Amino acid sequence: MANAQEMLVTQDKFTHRKNLKKDIKHSLGEYIIEKIIFCLGITSVIIFSLIFLFLLRTGLTLFRDVSLKEFLFSKNWFPISVNPQYGILPLVAGSLLITAGAILISVPIGVGCAIYISEVAPPKTKMVLKVIIEFLSAIPSVVLGFLGIVVLANWVRISFSLSSGFTALTGSILVSLMALPTIITISDDAINALPKEYREASLALGATKWETIINVLVPAASSGIIAAIMLGIGRAIGETMTVMMVTGNAAKIPDTFLTSARTMTATIAAEMGDTVRNGTHYHALFAVGIVLLMMTTCINLIADFVLNRARKEGR
């Protein structure tokens, strides 16, 4: 009997030691993972800060030669003329016009597609549509730009009786195609993440499926849909290659969507390789990058404000 008790005590001690070793290993593993994640996070912040400081240091040097008023409000961007002028206003106007056009096209189509895929489409159709959306997101921007030159620009020229199809409208249509996968995918995920009880309760109260979608599901998923739209805006305003190929690249303030335009990103991409390092033109392009960074930061801040407000109202 005593031997049996001693064996039980020994077994309990062994089990306790084994569990203690497991707990130590588990705690040590969690500690190491936490430190690795912390180091990676700090590294990313440091890298971003260094990039931001380099951008500021190089871009702000421009204002030794060019006044801030001229840079922000002048309508002329002629950096390689006899009397160079560095007015960014036409570039900002072109970027905003093309982004606005892309969002006007992509948001209704994207949100509508997300609602159809998540709530209406049969399983087989849903699978096919998701594959098509993923394929669309995988198309390189230069390929879309080439299709825009060959097909879309010609269609715009004929449809609107223009001398050239390289317009802000052509760029807006192509950029909207690039923003669509982001808007559709994130909006679809936001709607699918809603509890089933929302649908069941609405239908149990006598609402139709359409009324449930419009009055219950879309408002409940509004924060995710807004996030999708903001990411789509960021995708649109940061696009470079496509807009450089199909918008005409005329550095003037566009009157309508049917005139040529030039964006900030296209300007940086087209002119950076031809500038003299540490020259005024070189610094001007970095200053354009600062303005672009400020615009995207404002978009992110607006998105955070809208999302926080939507969450508070949802509570």
Q: Give 230-247 pLDDT, tens digit per residue.
A: 888 888 888 888 888 899
Give CA–CA dist 67/53, Å, rounded. 21
Amino acid at 85: Q
- At residue 80, the 3 state secondary structure works out as coil
Q: What is the pTM of this model?
A: 0.82
DSSP 2: H
How much is the pLDDT for 2?
47
Which regions in the chain score pLDDT beneath 50? 1-2, 8-9
How much is the pLDDT for 22?
62
Q: Using an 8 Å Cβ cutoff, are 130 and 117 in contact?
A: yes
Q: What is the 3-state secondary structure (H, E, C) of 251-303?
A: CCCCCCCCCCECCHHHHHHHHHHHCCCCCHHHHHHHHHHHHHHHHHHHHHHHH
